[in-house]
């Protein structure tokens, strides 16, 4: 029998577009339980859901100033005080397995293509990936399918206000993972546009 899905919202802050030695570094990431689905009903996690946050030491000397400016993180401080990637990823993997228990952990992100790339690479390089090789769900795709809109309009500024979180988007990875968890839960439980909901 399939397991219940446990959705975990993930957000990554990096100093460039792609991960790896000789490329760029993941400087922080946040994880927040977003909800569960048992094949019949979805249950949002709500306030007080378990979270995980880590700031990491860079693995490369390269960085893009524009990417670094988004998060406002200090690379020099992280080089001194950031967690080792191996330690941070091992701790994150343990946390995911602990909160999941006998449920299947599924990472959700907006867009998943960016955050999954970073987390999958770091888990693969420094620990085992608790989400497996393909355990992610793209929130943008979920919205497009439910809203019936073109990909170019599957963006937050075109989404109905009731889908947005009340939390601010701060570019702190944990803050944004929590905001994204709200967005994901709101989209999942949304009946769709009025013309679809009423049909």
Tell me: the pLDDT tens digits for 85-122?
999 999 999 999 999 999 999 999 999 999 999 999 99
pLDDT band (50, 70, 90) for residue 46:
confident
Residue 165: burial class (beta carbons within 10 Å; 0-12, 13-18, 19+): middle
* Predicted pLDDT at 67: 94
* Predicted pLDDT at 161: 95
The 10s digit of each residue's pLDDT in 27-38 is: 999 999 999 999
5-181+188-197: which CATH topology?
Nucleotidyltransferase; domain 5 (3.30.420)
Residues of the chain by 3-state class (helix, strand, coil), percent to 5? 40, 20, 35
Pairwise pLDDT comparison (31 vs 194), residue with the higher score: 31
Q: Where are the beta strands (DSSP E) in 60-150?
A: 104-109, 136-138
* Predicted pLDDT at 196: 63
Residues marked as catalytic: 171
* Predicted pLDDT at 122: 98
d(CA 138, CA 85): 25
How much is the mean pLDDT over the chain? 95
Q: What residues pair up with 5 in beta bridges, in sequence order?
A: 37, 104
Q: How much is the pTM?
A: 0.95
* Predicted pLDDT at 195: 72
């Amino acid at each position: 029998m399939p397991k219940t899905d446990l959705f975990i919202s993930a957000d990554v802050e990096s100093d460039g577009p792609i991960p790896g030695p000789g490329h760029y570094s993941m400087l922080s990431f946040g994880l927040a339980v977003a909800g569960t689905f048992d094949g019949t009903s979805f249950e949002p996690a709500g306030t007080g859901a378990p979270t995980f946050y880590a700031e990491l030491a860079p693995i490369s000397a390269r960085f893009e100033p524009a990417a670094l400016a988004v998060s406002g993180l200090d690379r020099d401080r992280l080089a001194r005080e950031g967690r080792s990637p191996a330690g941070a990823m091992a701790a994150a993997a343990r946390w995911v397995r602990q909160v999941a228990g006998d449920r299947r952990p599924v990472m959700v992100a907006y867009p998943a293509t960016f955050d999954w790339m970073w987390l999958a690479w770091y888990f693969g390089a420094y620990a085992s990936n608790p989400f497996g090789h393909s355990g992610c769900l793209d929130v943008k795709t979920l919205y497009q399918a439910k809203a019936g809109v073109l990909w170019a309009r599957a963006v937050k500024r075109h989404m109905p206000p009731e889908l947005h979180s009340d939390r601010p988007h701060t570019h702190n990875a944990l803050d944004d993972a929590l905001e994204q968890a709200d967005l994901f839960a709101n989209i999942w439980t949304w009946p769709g546009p009025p013309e679809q909901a009423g049909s």
